[in-house]
Structure 1
Amino acid sequence: MAGLYDELLVLLHGIWSRRWVALGVAWGICMLGWLGVALIPNSYQSKARVYVNTQSLLEDKVGITQVQSQQDLDRVRSTLASAENLEKVVRDTDLSQSVSGPRDIAAKITTLRENITVMAQADPSMIDISAISADSALSDGANARIAQQVVQKLIDIFQEENLSGDRNQTKQSLAFLDQQIAARGKQLEAADQRRVAFAQRYVGLLPGAGSISQRMDAARVEINTIDSQLVQAQSALSAMNGQLIGTPATLPGISASGGASPLAQAQSNLASMRARGWTANHPDVIAAQREVDALRKSGGGGGAGGTGSTPNPAYLSIRSMQAERAATVQALQTRRAQLQGDLNTMTSRQVDEPGVASEQEKLDSDYVAVKAQYDKLMSDREEIRLRGEVKTETGSVQFRVIQPPSTPTAPSAPNRPLLLLGVLILGIGAGIGVAFALGQLKGTFPTAARLEKALGLPVAGSISQTISAAQVAVEKHRMKWFAGASGGLVAVYLLLVVVEFVQRGMA
C-alpha cells in the first residue's frame, strides 16, 4: 500500500513539475474547441400535435371500414413530406426570401425533408409534427420563426389533404368511371344490335328466350308434356264415346196409366248405370240390357199410350262432355304439330347452317359479358359517389389542433453550455495527459528505489533538493501567474456560457 502511495506522489509531482505545459495545452485545445462550438449553428425546433378522428356513423353503412379510413390517414401522413407539399412550404414561408431559382427550391426541399418529422403516437389518432430550422445564414430569431411557419404550413396541408383530397380523388374516380361506362355502353348497344339482327334473320323459328339449342330443348320438353296430356285427353274422349254409344238420345213416351212405360224405365236404368261408369261386362248392366232387349221384342210394353218420346238429359250431358274432350284433344294435337314443325325447321336449318347455334351462343355470351361489366361499373360508380358524399358531407375526418405550433425561444441543438463544459474538461484532461507523457519519456529517476532497480546495484543514499529564499519568492510569483492563467481559462468558459444565455434571451 505504501508503495502505491509513493508511486502516486511521484506521478503527481511529475505532472506538477510540468504544469505550464499542461496549462498551455489546455488553453490551446479549449480555444479551438470553443471556436468550433461557436461555429455550430443553432437549431430551433417547433412542435405541434393534432388529433384526427376517422370514425363516422355512416362509414360502416357504405362499406368504409375503420381500417380503410386509417389507411387513408396513413397515406396522407406518408405523403405529407412529398416534394410537391414541401415546395408549397418553401413558397408560403420566409424560406422563399432566400430562393432565386429552381435549384434553390430543390436544395430547400432536401433540407426540409431531413428536418421534418411526422410521427404517430400510441393512439393512432394523435400525430406529432415537428420541424427544425438551422440555417447559419439566418439569425436565431429568423430560424425560430421559420420553424414555426413550416409546422403551421404542414398542418394546413394536412388538413387540406384530408378535407379536399377525398373530394378531388372522388371526382377523378367518377370521371374515369364515366368514361369507362360510356365505352361499355357503346359496346353493350352494339352487342344488342347484333342480337336483334340475328333474331330478325331467324325470327319465328322458336319463340322464347335463350339460345337456339336452349329453345330446341325447351320445345322437346314441351312436346313430351303435350304427348302425356294428349294420351290422357284421348283416353277421356274414348270413355265419353263409349258412354254416348250406350245412352239413348230420346226416352220413350208415357204409359196409359200416366207413368213411364216398362221399356222407358228399363232404358233409364241402363243409362243410369252407364253414366256411373259401369262397363258392358258388369252383371247389372248385362241384366238391364237383356231386359231392354226383351221389352223391345215384345213391343215396348207401353201400349198405345206409349208411342211418344222425349230427349234424354243424360245423353245431352254426355254429348257436351264429349265435345269438350274432343276440343281439348284437337288443341293439343295442333300445338304439338306446330312445335314439331318448328323443331323440324330449326333442325334442318342447323343441318344447312351449322354455325347458327354457335353464332347465337357467341352473341349471347358477348352480350352477357359486356352487360356484367357495365352493371359492375355502374355499381362501383354509385358506391364511390356515396362514399365520397359520406366523407365530405358528414365530416368523416374530424381534425383538431391539440397543441398549436410552438414558437421556440431556445435552440433545441446544440446544447452549447454542455459542449463548452465538455471542451473545458477535454482541454484540462489533454493538458494533464501531455504532462504525464512527457514525464514518462524523460530519462530521470525520481526516487532512489527506481535507480537501484534500474542499475541492479545498491544505492547508498540520495540528496534532497535545497531551495533558497530567492527561489521560494520566484516560485510564489510563478504560482500566482499559474493560478491566474488557470482561473482565466475557467473565466472564459463562464463568460461563454453567459453569452450563450444572453443570445438565447435575445432570440
Structure 2
Amino acid sequence: MQDLVRQALAILRGMWNYRWQGLITAWVVGLVAAVVSFRVPDQYEASARIYVDTQSILKPLMSGLTVQPNVEQQISMLSRTLISRPNIEKLIRMADLDLSEGSAVEQEELIQRLTKDIQIRNTGRDNLYSLVYRDRESERAKKVIQSLVSIFVESSLGASRKDTDSAKTFLNEQIKQYEQKLEEAEARLKEFRLRNIDRASPDGKDAASNVAAIAAQLQQAQLELREAESARAAAKGQLDAERGRGGDIATQSLLQESRLSVSTPEIDARLDAQRRNLDGLLQRYTEQHPDVVTTRKLIKDLEAQKAKEVAELRKAQLALPSAAVGPNASLAMQELGRALAAAEVQVAALQARVSEYSARLAAARAALKTAPQIEAEAAQLNRDYDVYKKNYQDLVARRQSAIMSGELEVASGVADFRLIDPPRVAPEPVAPNRLLLLLGALGVALASGLGIAFAGSQLRPVYNDATELRSKTGLPLLGVVSLVLSDEQRRRERVSTLRFVGASGGLVGLYVIGIVAVALMAQRAAAV
C-alpha cells in the first residue's frame, strides 16, 4: 500500500511540473468545446400517434366460414418493415424533400439519414404506435410525419388486398391442376373397370372371400344332395316292399296314372327365384353385366334340367308293372309313388346345384391367381382418385373461404386506423441538451489538461525522491543534495501557485456561469 501511495505521489509531483502546459491545453479545449456546444443546431421533434382497432363485429359471426388473419402480427410486421427504401423514396417525394437535394450522392445521404432518424415506437399495449422524427426545421419534420402516417395506413390496406388477390390466384391455379389430375384419374379408373368387368363382384368382396363363399355354398349343396339321395333310397325301398305285398288292378292303375303326372316343384321354385332376380338386375344393370349374363345362363340350365328330369321320371313311371284297376286300390302305393317322384326331382335339382357351384368354384379358383395383381391395381387407382378428389374439394372450399374473406375485409375492414394525435411539432427544440453538452465539454477540457500534464511527466520525467531514482535507474545513490529556497523564491512559488489556481478556477467558473445561464434560459422558455 505504501508503494502505491508513493508511486501516486511521484506521478502527481511529475504532473505538477507540467501544470501550465496542461492548463493551457484545458483552456484551449474548453473554449473550443464551449463554442461547439453552442453551435450545435437545435433539433425539433415531430410526432403522431396511431391506434389500430382490430376488433370487428363480423369476425365472430364469420368464424369458421372465412380465414381470420392475425391482424396484430400483420400490423407488427408492417411497423418493422415500413422503413424500407421504396417507402423512404416515396416519403421524400410526398414531403418535397427532394427539392433541396440535387445530386445522386445527396439523395443517397438523405435516404440514409431518414432511415436512421425516423422511429416507429410500439407502446406495447392496445396496438398504439408512435411515429417520431427530428429535424432542424420544424415544418420539415411535420411534413415527414404527415407523409409517414399516410404511407403507414395505405401500406396496411394495400398489403391486405394484395395478399387476398395473391391467395385467390394461387388457389385458382391449383384447382385447375387438380381438376385435370382428377379427370385423368377418373378416366384410368373407368378404363380399368371396363377391362375387368367380367371379374367384378356385385357384393364388393375380394377374390379370396368369393372363393370361400362359393366353397361354403358347394358344401351346403353337397350335404343337401346326400340328404335327398338318402330320402329317395328310403322311398324306393318302401315302394318295393309295398309292391311285394301285391295290390289289386285298380290300385296299380291309379298308381300308374299318378306317375304319369310328373311335377318338379324344386326346380320351378328356383326358376321363379332366378327370374325375379333377373328382373331386379335388369333394373340396375345392362344386358352385358356379368350378373345378368350369369343369371340368364342359370335359368337356361334349370329349364333344360327340368325338361330332362320330367322326361326321365315319366319314362321310369311307365316302366313300372301295371296292375288291374279296381275299386280297392292301395292308397299307400299312391303316396309312396308321389314321394319317390318328389325325391327324384329334388335329387336332380340338387345335382344341378352342385354342378353349378363346382363350376363356379373352379372359375373362382382360376381367377384367384390373377386377383392380387388386379386388386392391387384397383386399390392404387382408387387411392389416387380419392387423394385428388379430396385435395380438389379442399381447394375449392378454401377458394370460397378466401373470396368471402376478401369481401369481409372490403365490407367491414379488418383493421381500423385511427389518428389519436395528429402530426405536431413541439415549439421548443428537444435537442441538444446544452447543459449536458457543457458538462461534457468541461469534463473533456479537464481530462485533456490532465492528460497533457501526465504525458509530459512520462516523456521527460523528473525524480523528486531518492528512493524513486534508485529504483528507476538501478544505480547506487551516494548522497542527496537538498535545495534551500530563499524567501524570494518561495514568494514566487506561492504567486505561481495562486495564478494556477486562479486560472483553473476561472475555467471552471466560466463553465458554471454558462451552465447557469443555459438553465435559466430553458426555465424561462418552459414558463412561457
Q: What is the TM-score of this pair, normalised by structure 1?
A: 0.57
**Who is 2:268 aligned against?**
323
Equivalent-residue separation in structure 1 for 2:435 and 2:393 (angstroms): 71
**Who is 1:387 aligned against?**
405
Mapping for residues 420-439 of structure 1, pairs under 5 Å = 420=438, 422-423=440-441
**Who is 2:426 aligned against?**
408
Mapping for residues 49-128 of structure 1, pairs under 5 Å = 49-55=49-55, 56-58=59-61, 60-62=63-65, 68-100=70-102, 103-123=105-125, 125-128=126-129
Equivalent-residue separation in structure 2 for 1:389 and 1:431 (angstroms): 73
Equivalent-residue separation in structure 2 for 1:54 and 1:62 (angstroms): 19
Residues 1:240 and 1:325: Cα distance change in structure 2 (over 3 Å): farther
Amino acid at match of 1:61: G
**Who is 2:337 aligned against?**
none
Matched, 1:174 2:168: yes
Structure of higher RCO (CA pairs closer than 8 Å, 6+ residues apart): 2
**Who is 1:334 aligned against?**
298
Mapping for residues 95-244 of structure 1, pairs under 5 Å = 95-100=97-102, 103-123=105-125, 125-134=126-135, 140=136, 142=137, 144-200=138-194, 202=195, 204-207=197-200, 217-218=205-206, 221-222=209-210, 224-225=212-213
CA contact (8 A) 2:27 2:445 kept: yes
The one-character-per-residue Cα deviations of 1:18-68 (angstroms, maximum 9, x if unpaired) are 99x9986665333211222244333332233322233442475357568x3
Residues 1:27 and 1:497: Cα distance change in structure 2 (over 3 Å): farther
Amino acid at match of 1:193: A
> Residue 374 of structure 1 aligns to a residue in which SS?
helix
Superposition deviation, residue 172 in structure 1: 1.1
Equivalent-residue separation in structure 2 for 1:425 and 1:227 (angstroms): 109
> Residue 42 of structure 2 aligns to a residue in which SS?
coil
> Residue 61 of structure 1 aligns to a residue in which SS?
coil
Quick check: 333-342 or 385-394, which moved more? 333-342
> Residue 81 of structure 1 aligns to a residue in which SS?
coil
Matched, 1:41 2:41: yes
Superposition deviation, residue 100 in structure 1: 3.5
Superposition deviation, residue 111 in structure 1: 1.7
CA contact (8 A) 2:42 2:429 kept: yes
The one-character-per-residue Cα deviations of 1:132-166 (angstroms, maximum 9, x if unpaired) are 334xxxxx3x3x22333333333322222333311
Aligned length: 412
Superposition deviation, residue 414 in structure 1: 1.4
Amino acid at match of 1:79: T
CA contact (8 A) 2:67 2:401 kept: no
Equivalent-residue separation in structure 2 for 1:343 and 1:47 (angstroms): 93
> Residue 427 of structure 2 aligns to a residue in which SS?
coil
CA contact (8 A) 1:205 1:346 kept: no
Amino acid at match of 1:190: E
Mapping for residues 335-350 of structure 1, pairs under 5 Å = 344=363
Amino acid at match of 1:493: G
Unaligned runs of 5+ residues in structure 2 are 1-11, 278-294, 300-352, 465-478, 490-498
CA contact (8 A) 1:52 1:397 kept: yes
Amino acid at match of 2:171: L
Superposition deviation, residue 442 in structure 1: 13
Equivalent-residue separation in structure 2 for 1:192 and 1:430 (angstroms): 89
Equivalent-residue separation in structure 2 for 1:102 and 1:133 (angstroms): 23
Equivalent-residue separation in structure 2 for 1:325 and 1:208 (angstroms): 22
CA contact (8 A) 2:79 2:120 kept: yes
Amino acid at match of 1:113: T
Residues 1:177 and 1:497: Cα distance change in structure 2 (over 3 Å): same
> Residue 431 of structure 2 aligns to a residue in which SS?
coil
Residues 1:130 and 1:34: Cα distance change in structure 2 (over 3 Å): farther
The one-character-per-residue Cα deviations of 1:355-379 (angstroms, maximum 9, x if unpaired) are 8766655554544443344334323
CA contact (8 A) 2:47 2:130 kept: yes
**Who is 2:6 aligned against?**
none
> Residue 71 of structure 1 aligns to a residue in which SS?
helix
CA contact (8 A) 1:30 1:427 kept: yes
Residues 1:207 and 1:104: Cα distance change in structure 2 (over 3 Å): farther
The one-character-per-residue Cα deviations of 1:400-452 (angstroms, maximum 9, x if unpaired) are 2333333132333211244235535765897899999999x999x9xxxxxxx
Equivalent-residue separation in structure 2 for 1:371 and 1:207 (angstroms): 23
Superposition deviation, residue 169 in structure 1: 0.7
Equivalent-residue separation in structure 2 for 1:231 and 1:328 (angstroms): 21
> Residue 423 of structure 2 aligns to a residue in which SS?
coil
Quick check: 425-434 or 160-169, which moved more? 425-434
**Who is 2:389 aligned against?**
371
**Who is 1:30 aligned against?**
30
Equivalent-residue separation in structure 2 for 1:220 and 1:349 (angstroms): 7
Equivalent-residue separation in structure 2 for 1:208 and 1:101 (angstroms): 85
**Who is 2:289 aligned against?**
none
Superposition deviation, residue 191 in structure 1: 3.4
Amino acid at match of 1:420: L
Superposition deviation, residue 174 in structure 1: 0.9
Equivalent-residue separation in structure 2 for 1:172 and 1:97 (angstroms): 37
**Who is 2:514 aligned against?**
493
**Who is 1:8 aligned against?**
none
Identity %: 25
> Residue 404 of structure 2 aligns to a residue in which SS?
helix
Structure with the bigger percentage of helix:
2
Equivalent-residue separation in structure 2 for 1:432 and 1:241 (angstroms): 135
Residues 1:354 and 1:319: Cα distance change in structure 2 (over 3 Å): closer
Quick check: 74-83 or 326-335, which moved more? 326-335
CA contact (8 A) 1:240 1:321 kept: no
The one-character-per-residue Cα deviations of 1:103-143 (angstroms, maximum 9, x if unpaired) are 544433322221122232232x3343333334xxxxx3x3x
CA RMSD of aligned residues (A): 6.3
CA contact (8 A) 1:93 1:146 kept: yes
Residues 1:70 and 1:342: Cα distance change in structure 2 (over 3 Å): farther
Equivalent-residue separation in structure 1 for 2:62 and 2:145 (angstroms): 30
The one-character-per-residue Cα deviations of 1:163-216 (angstroms, maximum 9, x if unpaired) are 33111111012112212222232233233334444444x26423479xxxx96x
Residues 1:425 and 1:107: Cα distance change in structure 2 (over 3 Å): closer
CA contact (8 A) 1:49 1:404 kept: yes
